[in-house]
Amino acid sequence: QVQLQQSGPGLVRPSQTLSLTCAISGDSVSSDVAIWTWIRQSPSRGLEWLGRTHYRSKWYNDYAESVRSRITISPDTSKNQFSLQLNSVTPEDTAVYYCARDPAFSGGWSRNAFDIWGQGTVVTVSS
Amino acid sequence: DIQMTQSPSTLSASVGDRVTITCRASQSVDDWMAWYQQKPGKAPKLLIYKASTLQSGVPSRFSGGGSGTEFTLAISSLQPDDVATYYCQQFGGNSWTFGPGTKVEI
C-alpha cells in the first residue's frame, strides 16, 4: 500500500523559504512508472498544481509558471522522499500543501491524474 | 493557461437521485480530464481519470464522460457518503489545472 507522509513547519515568515518533505512508502521516488508532484489549496486560488519530479533514465522537473522563479522540487533517493522549496514567500503563499503521485502508464507516460495524496500540511505565511 | 469552469457550484439532491456535474475547458484537452471527491479536512480522492476510466476501488455509481472541452461526472444513485465537494482537473499545454469545485448536498 503506497503512502505519502508529509513533514515541515506550519509557519513561515514573509520573504523566507518554505520547505516541505514527502516521504514515500510502498513505492520508489526513482520509479519509472510514477511522477511525484506538489499541489496546494487555498480559498483564494483553489487547487493549484505547483510542480513535479520524475526519473526516466535521468531526473526531470516541471514547474508551474506562477511559481517557476521561486520553486525547487528535489528527489532524495537515499531517503526515498522528495521535497519542495518555495523561496521569498508572501502571505499569498498561505495554503494547505499536498504531495501526490501520478501513477504513470507502463510506458512511463503521465496518467495526468493523482491517485495517492499526502495528508496535507497547513502552511501560514505571517510575521 | 487553460481555464476550467464547473456547474453547478452547489447541488442539492435526495438520496437515490441521479446527479450530474459539468466541467468545461477554455480549449480542447482531448480526454485528459480527471475527477476528484474531497471531504472537509481531507485530501482529494481520485474518482475518474482519462475522462471515463473508473479508478480502482471507486463505486460503480460514479461515471465520467465527454471529450474536447465538455465533460461530465455522474452519480447514478446519490448516497449519504457522497456529500462532498467535487473537482475536475485537466492536463493541457504542459500544465495541470483544477476547476473551482461543486459542493454536493443532501
Q: Which of A38, A44, A71, A114 to mutate to test the interface with B (most CBs of B within 10 A)?
A: A114
Q: What is the per-residue pLDDT for A104?
A: 86
Rounded distance between C-alpha atoms, residue B46 and residue A41, angstroms: 16
B96 contact residues in A (CB cutoff 8 A): 49, 112
Q: What is the per-residue pLDDT for B20?
A: 98
Using CB atoms, pick whichever of B43, B95, B100 lies closest to residue A120.
Answer: B43
Tell me the C-alpha to C-alpha distance, in Å, between residue B1 and each of A31, A40, A121.
Answer: 29, 17, 26
Q: What is the per-residue pLDDT for B101?
A: 98
Across the interface, whether the CB atoms of B101 and A46 are under 8 A apart is answered yes
Tell me the C-alpha to C-alpha distance, in Å, between residue B32 and each of A25, B60, B67.
Answer: 28, 20, 8
Report pLDDT digits (tens) over A66-109: 999 999 999 999 999 999 999 999 999 999 999 999 998 888 78
Q: What is the per-residue pLDDT for A110?
A: 86
Position B93 pLDDT exceeds 80 = no
